[in-house]
Amino acid sequence: MKKHLTISGRRPDQAGMDFTLLREEGIEHIQSMSGRIWTDYNAHDPGITILEHLCYAITDLSYRLSFDMQDLLAHPPQSRERIKQFFTANEILTTHPVTINDYRKLIIDIEGVKNCWLEPLDDPITGLYRVLIEKEADIDDERVLDKVRRKLHSHRNLCEDFVEIKILPFEEISVYAELEIEDDADVNELTAKIYFELDSFIAPSIRKYSLKELIDKGEPIDEIFEGPPLENGFIDNDELNRFDRKPELHTSDLIHILLDIRGISAVKTIFVSSFLSREKEAWALQLSSGFTPAIKDLDAILKDHDIKFYKGGIFCGVDRAEVKKKADNTPKEPTKATAVASEKDMPIPAGHFRELSDYVTVQNDFPANYGIGEVGLPDSASDARKAHAKQLQAYLMFFDQILANYFSQLNRAKDLFSPHYTENRTYFVNMLSQVPGIEDEVDTDRERLQELTEDPETALQRRNRFLDHLMARFSEKFPNHLLLLHEKLSKELLQNKLDFLKAYPGISSNRGRAFNYISKDKTWNTNNVAGLKSRICAMLGIRDHKRKHLTETDVEGFHMIEHILLRPVKRAAAVDYQPDPYSFRISFVFPDWPMRCGEENFQKLIHDVLISETAAHIAFNVLWFDRDRMSAFEDEYRQWLEKLAEGSDAADVHATALIKFLENGRVVDEPEDE
């Protein structure tokens, strides 16, 4: 059992900066080992002198370890090849849209969109959505629809689709009120203020914050960056939840708004109506689900005298021109963020670069009478004296080398814990180039010293543990590649892990992301594939995840088909399958001829990876095709993708052919019925 020596109530690992404590512990260790043959531990003893100088060197190392973390990880200012240790908050905390609110944020971020809602479609096939858009006034409908459609399909979730994207027409709301105002109230200014407040309540705009504004509000960083990355600022989750669609408009809410305006003392009468019915409602107005409410235009309100003011029972008229002037100057709460590009992310602390690997031999600090420092021995010294000095130097060089390597190791810690470090070596050496008087008598071959310090097998083992540690920080673990590597660690496995870590922000955040099937120029030989496919490829060590012809080469790969996209464009063409063949189902099609694909261990690994990586609510099939069957399948698959991108009804023909291919699959795993 390891014994921890306690000195003055402190453990040795707390004593790194304490020279006295280190010295005392060193002497105690010497006493325990050589107390019977060495009894003089006073300062004049050469052994104590050596101990003291080594303790001093250790305190220097400990001192450097106490630097701020950003300093320990800093690169030289002039360095061109800086290794990135961390992903930024915007890279690692944001994710592909998952919830309804995530999609709302994504669409509201588009210029010209004021609000939006996603509704599940009432259809036997689940996973289909209707998207309703509230646009800003005076914005072209087709332009907004095109932007929304492109944004949605480039962020579509796996096994889901958007059937209808619709801009809601405006439902004009009129508010009729008779108000008693205070004697010193300005009716023109009140009218402008009332219009602004009623407009903000009936058709509110969702504010977009800068990063600083949300931090100042006390929002946690992980919640600020929750959801998809946005271009025009951040949307507060609580505020978004409050801006849901109103089924009706209550006059009681309008009364509270009016009475909160300074200068209004009483609401004598109030009614609301819609241009759809023109009936004035005294209590509540039912809003149409097919429209979005918008307050009546200010010019029309003034013209029709919808809002009347009284002072002491005497009617007060308004100046229409003055009201419009004041309305233009009414302070409005900003709806767009004041953020610039640099304020969309949390900067990684730069730190102050320190020369952590600089090491000066302890021999220079010894008293001159030892003859091992820069001054050395006089020429008159005997050969025996010089030999003794050389022997002491050789003895101290063992300590020098260990300490020098520690300093070098500290300097390279920034690389070892970076997913972008590409070397396999994990121990680093520091050359003793400044030992006085023996420059020509030591081996200065750094590579040879490196080989003596760490052999290739040890480097692979340690590098593998470092990579496992980095993945564990993201709660990730690579599948059991020992099945494939015949229980032998390889550089290929390390490279697979390194590739996984480098691409981790996308691999992690896009695991639920589907491919963009409306992109006409990206159907084949493309990286426009589902995030799940990219992740599975990374896990299996398949370097190329492009959608391509597998029959033209012997490289590994597979195809992934979302059944929901095979549904008939024309409902009349639907076939009554039992169970439902479209909802939340995927088919994986693998070739059976590449070398690893024919191995039982690799097939078992594929099975395990598909189960662990596919979302629990998605059932999947696995099919293995020979070269001839794969060729026929890929012809139909490619034509189907092209017709799907065009929005052509001809996609149904190829979808039917694909279904026949997929019917031969074996269901590997299905989620249990709830």
DSSP 593-622: -STGGGSHHHHHHHHHHHHHHS-TT-EEEE
Q: How does residue 439 score in pLDDT terms, banded at 50, 70 and 90?
A: low
Q: What is residue 5's DSSP assignment?
A: P
Spatial neighbors of 436 by CB under 8 A, at least 6 apart, are 361, 363, 364, 372, 373, 374, 376, 393
On the question of pLDDT at 490 being above 90, the answer is: no
Nearest to 467 by CA among 446, 439, 440, 495: 495
Give residue 304's identity as a one-letter amino acid code: D
On the question of pLDDT at 672 being above 60, the answer is: no
On the question of pLDDT at 642 being above 90, the answer is: yes
pLDDT digits (tens, 9 = 90+) for 464-481: 999 999 999 999 998 876
**How much is the pLDDT for 339?**
47
Burial class (CB in 10 A: 0-12, 13-18, 19+), 457: exposed
**How much is the pLDDT for 2?**
36
**How much is the pLDDT for 578?**
58
What strand order describes the sheet that includes 585-591?
559-562, 585-591, 619-625, 666-669
Q: Where are the alpha helices (DSSP H) in 66-140?
A: 69-72, 89-92, 100-108
User: CA gyration radius for the chain?
Assistant: 37
Please say whether the beta carbons of 545 and 530 come within 8 A. no
Residue 316 bridge partners (DSSP):
309
Q: How far is CA 320 from each of CA 118, 178, 192, 298, 452, rounded to the nearest angstrom? A: 40, 18, 10, 9, 91
Q: How does residue 484 score in pLDDT terms, banded at 50, 70 and 90?
A: low
Please say whether the beta carbons of 486 and 452 come within 8 A. no
On the question of pLDDT at 574 being above 60, the answer is: no
Report the alpha-carbon distance of residue 20 to residue 10 in Å, rounded.
13
Segment 627-652 shows an average pLDDT of 92
**How much is the pLDDT for 577?**
53
User: Kindly report the CA angle at 359 between 357 and 362, in degrees rounded to 5?
Assistant: 155
Query: Dihedral through CA 201, CA 206, CA 210, CA 216, nearest 10?
Result: 50
Please say whether the beta carbons of 134 and 292 come within 8 A. yes
Spatial neighbors of 546 by CB under 8 A, at least 6 apart, are 525, 526, 527, 529, 557
Q: Where are the alpha helices (DSSP H) in 38-96?
A: 46-65, 69-72, 89-92
C-alpha 264: how far from its chain's center?
A: 50
The fold adopted by the segment(s) 90-167 is GMP Synthetase; Chain A, domain 3 (3.30.300)
**What percent of the chain lies above the pLDDT cut of 70?**
88
Give residue 410's identity as a one-letter amino acid code: L
**How much is the pLDDT for 14?**
46
Burial class (CB in 10 A: 0-12, 13-18, 19+), 249: buried
**How much is the pLDDT for 643?**
92
Please say whether the beta carbons of 229 and 510 come within 8 A. no
**How much is the pLDDT for 337?**
53
Report the alpha-carbon distance of residue 593 to residue 560 in Å, rounded.
18
**How much is the pLDDT for 28?**
84
Q: Which structure tokens are listed for 206?
A: 């969702």
User: Kindly report the CA angle at 107 between 102 and 110, in degrees rounded to 5?
Assistant: 135
Give residue 457's identity as a one-letter amino acid code: E
**How much is the pLDDT for 340?**
46
Residue 180 bridge partners (DSSP):
266, 310
Report the alpha-carbon distance of residue 613 to residue 540 in Å, rounded.
12
pLDDT digits (tens, 9 = 90+) for 282-340: 999 999 988 999 999 999 999 999 999 999 889 999 999 999 998 887 766 555 555 44
On the question of pLDDT at 525 being above 80, the answer is: yes
**How much is the pLDDT for 367?**
86
pLDDT digits (tens, 9 = 90+) for 100-114: 999 999 999 999 999
Segment 15-42 shows an average pLDDT of 75
Report the alpha-carbon distance of residue 88 to residue 354 in Å, rounded.
23
On the question of pLDDT at 669 being above 60, the answer is: no
Segment 63-78 shows an average pLDDT of 87
| Mean pLDDT (the chain, rounded) | 86
Higher pLDDT, 374 or 494: 494
**How much is the pLDDT for 485?**
54
Query: Phi, psi at residue 323, to the nearest 5°?
Result: -60, -45
Give residue 408's identity as a one-letter amino acid code: S
The DSSP element (H or E) to which 278 belongs, if any, is: none
**How much is the pLDDT for 38?**
64
Q: Which structure tokens are listed for 139?
A: 């914005």
Q: Between the ranges 121-130, 366-375, 663-672, where is the mean pLDDT highest?
A: 121-130
pLDDT digits (tens, 9 = 90+) for 376-427: 888 888 999 989 988 898 889 889 889 999 999 999 998 898 888 888 899 9
On the question of pLDDT at 211 being above 60, the answer is: yes
Segment 210-219 shows an average pLDDT of 91
Q: Within the chain, which residue ranges are assigned CATH 3.30.300.30?
A: 90-167
Query: Phi, psi at residue 362, to the nearest 5°?
Result: -70, -15
**How much is the pLDDT for 462?**
92
pLDDT digits (tens, 9 = 90+) for 582-610: 999 999 999 999 888 888 888 888 999 99
